[in-house]
Chain A
Amino acid sequence: MTTTDAEGQAVTVPLSLNQEFNSLFDGGGDDGPFGCRNHAVSGWRITGGPVDSDVLRDALLDVVTRHEALRTRIAGPPDDRYQEILPPSPVRLDVRDFPAAPEASRAELAEALIHEIETETISAYEAPFLRATLARFDERDAVLILMAHHISVDGQSLTVIIRDLANRYAARIGRSVPDLPASPQYREYGVWERTAAESAAAREYWQRQLDGALFTAIPTDLPRSLGLAESTARHRFLIPGDVVSAIDRMARSNRATRFMAIAAVYQLLVHRLTGVTDVVMATFTPGRGGGLFDETVGSLYNFIPLRTDLTGCKTYEDVLKRTRRTCLEAFAHDIPSIQIFTEAPQLMGPVMTDNATAMVLQSVPLNPIVDAPGDLRFVQITRLLKSQELASAVPDGALWDINKDPSGDAIGSVAYKRNLFREDTIVSMAAEFGEIARLFSASPGASAGLL
C-alpha cells in the first residue's frame, strides 16, 4: 500500500475517535497526550543465540513499513487536527553491553535498564514513533527494550510489534518463517469506528446505565490551582501468590474472571477512600472490534466506565456478583469512549475540580512468550518490582495496573501524577488495596464492611 499520493505528498486522514478522545486531555506539556513522555515502554529477554544489531535495524524498518501507525503523526491546529501518514524511515536503535554479570543478577540489571529508558522521551512529531535499545549480557542473552509514542500505539500493539519483529528478524537471517497475518491499517480502524462501531442499542444502554452517574472522584493532596508542573511517578507493590490463587478460586467459583475480582476489590478501596456507595470507576478495553483489528498497530482502546451500586452488599461475594454483572454488561456494549461521553455529559465533572481527580484500573492478562520462529527466544520481562520517580505519563490522576506475574505473585503498579498526589498517599492506598484483597479472597462470605 502506498502512503503518498501521485505527487509524493503524505496522505492525510481524519482523526480516529480514540485520538479525538485523547485530544480532550491536551493541556500541552511533556506529560500531555502529544507530549514526549506519553510513551509505552516494554522489555524482552532474548536468549538462544546472538542478536545482530544491523539485522535488527533492518527488521525494525520492516515493522515500521508494515504498520502505518508507527509513521503517522497528528498534525494541524488543536481545533482541526488530522492524521498524516508518512513514508517509512529508519528506527533509532541504541546498542550497548551490560557489564559482566552472573545469571542471578541479570533480571535486576534488565529491570534497571527498562526504568532508565522510561525516563527518556520520544517525539510525537518526528517519525517513526518507535525507538529501540538492545543491551547484551553475552553472546546468547540480551535485552531488547521498545519505546513507542502512546498516541501511536497501545499495549496490545506492542505485542503485535514484537511478534512481527521476531518474525522479520528470523526471515532476514535466512530462517523459514510463517507468513504474518493480514494486518488492517489503523486508518481502516478509524473508518470502522465511525461506521460499524455505531450501535443504537449500546448508546441506549450507556444512557440508561449512566443516568445521573458521577465518576467517583478521588481527593488529591495538592490542588490543581497550585499550578505545579505535571509529572508522573510509579509505585509498585506485590500481592503474594497465595492471595492471587485465592482470588482466582473465588472468581472461578462465581464464574467470574480475575479482572472482575480485582475490580471488586478496587471498588471497595474507592468506597473506603470516598464514602461513595454508587461507585463509578473506569477501565480500558482493547476496542478492537472483538477481534477484527487484533493485528492492527495503533491506539485502539476504549475507556469504559463501570458503575456499580454497592448499596445492600453484605459480603465480599455480594460485591463480586454485582461487579461481574456490571462488567459483563459494559463489555457487551463496548463502544468508543467519545460516544459514551455524549450519552453522559455530566459523568466526568467531579474529576475536573481543583481538589479531586480520576483513577482508572486496568488488568490485561499477558502472554509473555513471543511467538518467535528460528532459534531465538523472546520472553517479555514482566517481573518489574521497583517504584520509579519518573515514569511514562498518565493523562491525569492515577492508573492502577494489577497483573499476575509468571511467578504466581501479582504485581500492582500505580502510575500517578506527582503534581496531584504525595507518594505516601499512594503507598497507603496500595497497602489498603492489598489488605482488602487478602480479606476478600480469604473469607468471601465475610462482611464487606461498607461504610
Chain B
Amino acid sequence: MDSSSAREQLATQAAQAPCAELPEPVFANPSAYRAPGTPRQETLCSLFAEALSVTRVGLDDSFFDLGGQSLNGVRLINLINNALGLELTIDELFDFPTVAELDQHLGADPDRALTQQQIATSRRQA
C-alpha cells in the first residue's frame, strides 16, 4: 500500500512539475467505495469529507488513509459532536477510524446520545 495520502500524492505531482496542469485528485479507490446506508452514516461520511477536505468518503475509508492527523481529528470530532449531539473523544476516532467502525461503535452504546441541554452544560471546548 502506498503510504501517501491522496493530498500528498497531488502535492508530489505539483512539486515535480511546477508548470504542468494538475489532474483532478482521486481520493479513494472507486472500486472499494461503499456508500452510506443510514442517515447517521451519511452524516458521518459528509463530516469526514468536510474535516479532511476530500470530495467523497465511503464507509470503509480510514481516517488515516484520508490524510487524518491529530489536528483535523480534533476538528472532525467537534463536527461530529455538534451534528449528532455526542461527546465522542479523539481516542474513539483513532480506535474506530472508518465511518463503518465508528457507526458500529456508536450503535453499541445507545446512552451516547446526549440531549443538547446536557451537551451545553457538560461540554467545554478544549
- A-side residues, CB < 8 A to B, are 45, 47-48, 103, 140-141, 196-202, 244-245, 248-249, 251-252, 255-260, 285-286, 289-292, 294, 324, 327-329, 331-335, 364-365, 367-369, 377, 379, 382-383, 404-408
How many Å lie between the Cα of A404 and that of B2 in the bound state?
14
B113 within 8 A of A: no
Given contacts A334-B74, A407-B15, A408-B12, whether A290 and B7 have CB atoms under 8 Å apart is no
A407 and B10: CB pair below 8 A? no
Give the A-B contact count at a CB cut-off of 8 A: 118
- Which residue from B51, B53, B126 sits with its C-beta under 8 Å from A199? B126
B71 and A285: CB pair below 8 A? yes
A47 and B19: CB pair below 8 A? yes
Having A198-B124, A201-B126, A369-B22, one finds 13 other A-B pairs with CB under 8 Å, namely A45-B18, A251-B64, A252-B3, A252-B64, A257-B69, A257-B70, A290-B77, A334-B74, A365-B67, A365-B71, A405-B15, A407-B15, A407-B16
As a 0/1 sequence over residues 37 to 75 of chain B, the CB contacts with chain A under 8 angstroms (1 = contact) are 000000000000001010000000010110111110111
Given contacts A202-B124, A252-B3, A291-B79, whether A368 and B71 have CB atoms under 8 Å apart is no
A290 and B69: CB pair below 8 A? no
A290 and B126: CB pair below 8 A? yes
A369 and B75: CB pair below 8 A? no
B-chain residues with CB within 8 Å of residue A405 when the two chains form the complex: 15
> What DSSP secondary structure best describes chain A's contact surface?
mixed
- Between-chain CB contacts (< 8 Å), 16 pairs: A141-B18, A202-B126, A244-B3, A251-B64, A255-B64, A291-B74, A328-B91, A328-B94, A329-B91, A332-B91, A334-B74, A365-B67, A368-B14, A406-B8, A407-B15, A408-B12
- Which residue from B8, B71, B78 sits with its C-beta under 8 Å from A404? B8
How many Å lie between the Cα of A141 and that of B65 in the bound state?
33
A379 and B14: CB pair below 8 A? yes
B11 within 8 A of A: yes
Given contacts A291-B78, A405-B15, A408-B4, whether A331 and B90 have CB atoms under 8 Å apart is yes
B126 and A365: CB pair below 8 A? no
- Which residue from B67, B97, B125 sits with its C-beta under 8 Å from A196? B125
| A327 closest partner in B (C-beta) | B70
B-chain residues with CB within 8 Å of residue A334 when the two chains form the complex: 74, 126
| B94 closest partner in A (C-beta) | A255
B118 within 8 A of A: no
How many Å lie between the Cα of A332 and that of B88 in the bound state?
11
Given contacts A259-B69, A365-B67, A365-B69, whether A332 and B19 have CB atoms under 8 Å apart is no
How many Å lie between the Cα of A256 and that of B73 in the bound state?
11
How many Å lie between the Cα of A415 and that of B14 in the bound state?
27
A-chain residues with CB within 8 Å of residue B24 when the two chains form the complex: none
A331 and B74: CB pair below 8 A? yes
B124 and A199: CB pair below 8 A? yes
A368 and B75: CB pair below 8 A? no
As a 0/1 sequence over residues 74 to 107 of chain B, the CB contacts with chain A under 8 angstroms (1 = contact) are 1101110000000001110011010000000000
How many Å lie between the Cα of A198 and that of B126 in the bound state?
8
B-chain residues with CB within 8 Å of residue A47 when the two chains form the complex: 18-19
A-chain residues with CB within 8 Å of residue B11 when the two chains form the complex: 367-369, 406
How many Å lie between the Cα of A257 and that of B89 in the bound state?
16
A141 and B94: CB pair below 8 A? no
B-chain residues with CB within 8 Å of residue A379 when the two chains form the complex: 14-15, 18
A256 and B74: CB pair below 8 A? no
A289 to B: closest C-beta gap in Å: 6
B-chain residues with CB within 8 Å of residue A201 when the two chains form the complex: 124, 126
How many Å lie between the Cα of A382 and that of B12 in the bound state?
11
B-chain residues with CB within 8 Å of residue A140 when the two chains form the complex: 19
A369 and B94: CB pair below 8 A? no
B125 and A290: CB pair below 8 A? yes
Given contacts A285-B71, A383-B15, whether A292 and B125 have CB atoms under 8 Å apart is yes
How many Å lie between the Cα of A327 and that of B91 in the bound state?
10
How many Å lie between the Cα of A408 and that of B29 in the bound state?
21
Top 3 A-B pairs ranked by shortest CB distance?
A248-B3, A406-B15, A406-B11
How many Å lie between the Cα of A50 and that of B79 in the bound state?
40
B-chain residues with CB within 8 Å of residue A364 when the two chains form the complex: 71
B94 and A407: CB pair below 8 A? no
B-chain residues with CB within 8 Å of residue A365 when the two chains form the complex: 67, 69, 71
B69 and A255: CB pair below 8 A? no
B16 to A: closest C-beta gap in Å: 8
